Amino acid sequence: MIGVQLKTFPFVLCLAAAMAIPVLAQDAKPTFRLDGGNTTYAFGVNERGELQQVYWGGRIAPTDPIPAAAGKMEWASFDGSYNNTPQEYAGWGQGLYMEPALKVSFADGNRDLVLHYLSSTKPDAQSLDIVLKDISRAVTVTLHYKMDAESGILARSATVENGEKQPITIEQEAAAAYSLPPAHYTLSYLSGRWAGEWTLNQETIHQGQRVLESRRGSTGHQLNPWFAIARGDADEDHGEVWFGELAWSGNWRITVEQDTLDAVRVTGGFNPFDFGYSLKTGEKLESPVFYAGYSAHGIGGASRQLNKFTVEHVLPTAPKPKPRPVIYNSWEATEMNVSEAGQIAMAEKAATLGIDRFVMDDGWFGKRKTDHAGLGDWYVDPDKFPHGLKPLIDRVHALGMDFGLWVEPEMVNPDSDLYRAHPDWAINFPGRPRMEQRTQLVLNLARPDVRAYVFGFLDKLLTENQIAFLKWDYNRNWSEPGWDQQQGADQKKIYVDFVRNVYSILAELRAKHPGIEIESCSGGGGRVDLGILHYTDEVWPSDNTDPFDRLTQQWGFTHAYPNQVMLAWVTDSPHWMNNRATTLTYRLLSSMEGSLGIGANLNKWNDADFATAKRLIAAYHEVQLTVTQGDLYRLIAPTNNVTGPSQFAATEMVAPDKHQAVLFAYANGTNEGRNFPLLQWKGLDPAATYKLTTIEGTTLPGTPASASGAWWMNHGLDILLHGDFVAAAFRLDRQ
């Protein structure tokens, strides 16, 4: 039986590696402090035994006082102190009206849960585990904290354990709750739809809840599990911003809530909608990780911090991911009409451009003539590839490229051998209709037999063929989320177990096939989050490849994710979706902001097109590391779809050691002969001398060949850029 008495903990635990441990609390109410980068995060145990946040913001001196935790005032007889206190992890009980971190029901019908501090351990120099326990029941929660020493980004998660003799049901489990004191705040978040992802929304936080969530089984195109909260008049470059991101690819929820006393609490974790996870005696449920950080340099500073952290700590090849290969993908050119001869002919053209990787998309397997059939039957279509994939792969290798292949492992078409053999493998409620989307159903990957099948065919594919890369697609959301192998309410475990199995398959494939690279695609950007990005190397942000739409999408996307993972293809003009005509140069420069790919029909290109693309792909290779892993400065915003196209847009990336910077400028429509705005570079070393190289475009007379960082940042670069959908790019190299 676990006791409930507080242990005496007479010092502050400090996670800053070499820092002396200051003694701040001498009683039974310990205070904990985490320092990293420019951030300090502190919390302590209040007079009732609850764990309460006491500070989160700019880094303070090691000797500075940390206020002792003290429960907040009650507000008359309607909002008690338990509700108003910024608890680190509040159980639903005792009059909590704010969003709970944990809600549990017990076998005897009790649903009151009040978590008090029990103990703490320090697994390593940068981590801290805090154990909370209900005031009478044997339910414990271990809160895991890990602060990155360089960025100050905190990774928090929670493990709930049932120590009761009877099972309990977890109805809601957050990873963490983060609190901010009363102030005027603006919330930023990303929303969208298929082919219209990554709209940046900004709104004042008012009393009540703003819920960001997915109930779709996966992350979703509609809302992304990222937020940023700016204080007062903070903007792109200035002011305080708190930000966070939930690393989960299933149903998720982030609740941003201003309380009665104007404080803000952000609670994130499994989506409690239709949630229920039963734990037998001794069983545990671990939440996803909810990352959070603080920037004193505006929303631009916040995204630079987060994106660097993702590259160095989250991606599977962190801390030093290689630059992404420049790919060719055949989807928009051929759709499912793939064949050995057609793909080889395309690969031969792609190779002349300096492409590193040739990817064959949908259509190569089963009876996949259209999207009405074939998913689930992962054998090579003998009509399209009579000799298997080998002749194509060999030719791609001979051309100096490696080979990638499209798969959609979690799906099945009812018109497939797999479905005919195993109709019960699709997610369904027995006796109820199965709603098809794109004539496909979702396989229940939570089932061990389905997991074994999916891992088995992928493993075989990679073992039998020299495949360097999988484009892993996922083209619908869930419906009728039943799991009839499970009893009653345990069917709801599908929400967690499915996602864990996706992750475990990805991890096992990577372990068994070292070097394999994987893209997360879900009809575009439907499954982009830091959970899947722990196992995948890049994502497909959108099926919308219109280069102007992409500029606005890339603007939003980069608030939450690094350019390194942002695949961007150059496709045909006029664009299939908007019928917008653009120059090849504009399309190339739009895509060169991220990880560059070509997805155009090369059979339609003329010699001049090949020459332009070859030249700009070569230029891209020279700046790729700066573009994809450097610090991004958003200079001029392309306006979103609601307010209409903006005239101009510009972004800049600076290498971490500041030896190089790259600037992209776009005139999306020139009105009244207006000149392009002066481009004042950012983030350079003011004392260093930088040489200017024009990648594409024209500078105004008088532009120096080289000048100090101070000159480029203060005087700035004047360029000539007139027209509709025209673009320019420049680089600076330190001398």
Question: Measured from the CB atom, is 279 or 567 closer to ligand DGJ?
Answer: 567
Question: Measured from the CB atom, is 142 or 413 closer to ligand DGJ?
Answer: 413
Q: Which residues bind ligand DGJ (CB under 6 A)?
A: 331, 361-362, 406, 473, 475, 521, 523-524, 540, 543
Phi-psi map region of 195: left, alpha, beta (phi>0 left; psi -120 to 50 alpha): left
Question: Measured from the CB atom, is 361 or 549 closer to ligand DGJ?
Answer: 361
Q: How far is the CB of 6 from ligand DGJ (least distance, A)?
A: 53
In terms of DSSP bridges, do strands 13-14 and 31-36 run parallel, antiparallel, or are they unpaired? Answer: parallel
Q: DSSP string spanning 469-507?
A: EEEE-------S---TTS-GGGGGGHHHHHHHHHHHHHH
In terms of DSSP bridges, do strands 51-58 and 102-106 run parallel, antiparallel, or are they unpaired? Answer: unpaired
Please say if 473 is a catalytic residue.
Answer: yes
Contacts (Cβ under 8 Å, ≥6 apart) of 431: none
Task: Calculate the CA dihedral of residues 44, 49, 52, 54 and round it to 10 degrees.
Answer: -40
Q: How far is the CB of 214 from ligand DGJ (least distance, A)?
A: 18
The two structure tokens encoding residue 215: 């109930």
Give strand pairing partners of 604.
none
Question: Measured from the CB atom, is 361 or 497 closer to ligand DGJ?
Answer: 361
| Contact yes or no for 502/445 (Cβ under 8 A) | yes
Q: What is the dihedral sign for C-alpha 86, 90, 96, 102?
A: positive
Q: How far is the CB of 437 from ligand DGJ (least distance, A)?
A: 13
Q: How far is the CB of 406 from ligand DGJ (least distance, A)?
A: 6
Cis peptide before 574 (omega within 30 of 0): yes
- Euclidean distance between CA atoms 337 and 361, whole angstroms: 10
Cis peptide before 319 (omega within 30 of 0): yes
| Contact yes or no for 613/598 (Cβ under 8 A) | yes
Residue nearest to ligand DGJ as judged by C-beta position: 362
**Other Cβ atoms within 10 Å of 670 Cβ, number:** 16
Q: How far is the CB of 331 from ligand DGJ (least distance, A)?
A: 5
Q: How far is the CB of 68 from ligand DGJ (least distance, A)?
A: 53
- Euclidean distance between CA atoms 244 and 356, whole angstroms: 35
Question: Measured from the CB atom, is 407 or 732 closer to ligand DGJ?
Answer: 407
- Euclidean distance between CA atoms 717 and 703, whole angstroms: 7
> Nearest Cα to 329, choosing from 571, 627, 86?
571
Query: Which residue in the list 381, 537, 543, 546 is annotated as catalytic?
Result: 543
Question: Measured from the CB atom, is 99 or 362 closer to ligand DGJ?
Answer: 362
The two structure tokens encoding residue 110: 């009790």
Query: Which residue in the list 134, 473, 546, 733 is annotated as catalytic?
Result: 473
Question: Measured from the CB atom, is 521 or 695 closer to ligand DGJ?
Answer: 521
| Contact yes or no for 264/180 (Cβ under 8 A) | yes
Question: Measured from the CB atom, is 517 or 543 closer to ligand DGJ?
Answer: 543
Q: How far is the CB of 534 from ligand DGJ (least distance, A)?
A: 21
Contacts (Cβ under 8 Å, ≥6 apart) of 579: none
Q: How far is the CB of 542 from ligand DGJ (least distance, A)?
A: 8
Q: What is the dihedral sign for C-alpha 481, 363, 316, 537?
A: negative
Give strand pairing partners of 599.
none
**Catalytic positions, written as ranges:** 473, 543
